[in-house]
Structure formats: C-alpha cells, structure tokens
A and B are shown apart, each in its own frame.
Chain A
Amino acid sequence: KAGVTQTPRYLIKTRGQQVTLSCSPISGHRSVSWYQQTPGQGLQFLFEYFSETQRNKGNFPGRFSGRQFSNSRSEMNVSTLELGDSALYLCASSAGTLTGNTIYFGEGSWLTVV
C-alpha cells in the first residue's frame, strides 16, 4: 500500500507570493490533516478535512487555507507568504477523523520563503 505522498518536496518562494502544496492520502483514508513543523514551535496543527469538509482548524491566520477533493486528495494554500512561513509542512492521513485514529505522515514539503 502506498504511503502518504506530498508534492513538491522542496520549494523556495519569495515574500508576498502564494504557494500550493498537495497531498495524496493512503488509499481508503478519508481524513487528511496538515501540520506545520518549525524548530521553534514544533508541530502545530493547521486543519483537518474529512469527506471534503473541514472538520477541525488550528490557530493560524486566514492566509492558510485548504481543501479536499472527492478522491480525498488535499491541497493547502498559503497566500502572501512571510519569512516566518518557512517550515516543513506535513500532511497526514487516517481512516477516520483525527479523533483517536492512527495518523500516518507524509515526508513533508520543505518551504523556504526568501
């Protein structure tokens, strides 16, 4: 069974630009969640989607958004990039919602904002 796949793996953007990251969950998994990982703040929850609906949302500004498609694939978008958005963005999938089901992480997308 293929794992969680994230693209692109590495990208460099300029302040003010926007970026879209993609995530394909494990086959059969309907829940996709996103996390931001930085050395200072650790792993922080962004949002979770289940059956195309946002079920949970973390404490991030509205510049961070996401969506999920009917095939469970998910995208997250960050608009008006700031230097502080440089981070590893991790996508995770699970069979159910986040609440108590094992989540499996992808390799992540390394975003550098210059």
Chain B
Amino acid sequence: GENVEQHPSTLSVQEGDSAVIKCTYSDSASNYFPWYKQELGKRPQLIIDIRSNVGEKKDQRIAVTLNKTAKHFSLHITETQPEDSAVYFCAASTVGGGADGLTFGKGTHLIIQP
C-alpha cells in the first residue's frame, strides 16, 4: 500500500516568514494530494489540494508543488500569521481506484513565533 512520509514533525518560524512542509509518497499510481490543517481540538480542514496533471497550485498565501518523478510534494505558506499555527497533514490517494483510501503523513506542528 501507499506510504507517506512528512517532514519536519515540528516547524517554528517567525511571524511574516515563510514555512515549507515536505512529503514523499511511495505509490507511483497516486494522483491526488490534499493538505489538511488541524487546529487544537478541531477537525482537519482541507486547505489546498493538487492533482497529478498539475505541477503547482496557489491560493493566496498557500501554494503546493508536486514533483511526480521524484514522488514528492510540498506545502508553502508565505507571510505566516499567528492563525497559521496548527498541525498540517499531507495525504495521497489514487483517483479511480485503490483500496487504501487517503494515506496521511504523520503531521507537522507549525508554530508561528510572534
């Protein structure tokens, strides 16, 4: 089955700086890569996703890049703000089939220092 590795497990950045979280996956058939943000005690919420026919996608301060050859994808947050503090999860799945559902990384605890 799919295996998703996520790094780093904890990331501390100064407010206003950029944050980058990286994930690698093992199944070359995976073609859908969402990112979720989970604040303490709350549900995970989708913040951005990318499909394998796209190399990069941007939504305001958030962007995701995908390198299918290297089997890795990254989340970029620019101009970080205190409300960006949360745990971020990457995931991978296979559109059109696959018995594994969404496979998640272990999460990155992002801390925004004032």
Contact = CB atoms under 8 A, between A and B. Distances in A.
Interface residues of A, number: 23
Which of the listed residues B42, B43, B106 has the most CB atoms from chain A within 10 Å of its own CB? B43
A64 interface: no
B102 A98 contact: yes
A106 interface: yes
Nearest to A91: B43
A33 interface: yes
Interface stretch (B13-21, B56-64, B75-83, B90-98): B90-98
Interface residues on B, range: 20 to 34
A1 to B, nearest CB: 15
B89 interface: yes
B28 interface: no
A36 B57 CA distance: 29
B97 A43 contact: no
A108 to B, nearest CB: 6
A100 B31 contact: yes
Contacts of A57: 99
Nearest to B49: A102
Interface of A: 33, 35, 42-45, 47-48, 56-59, 90, 98-100, 102-108
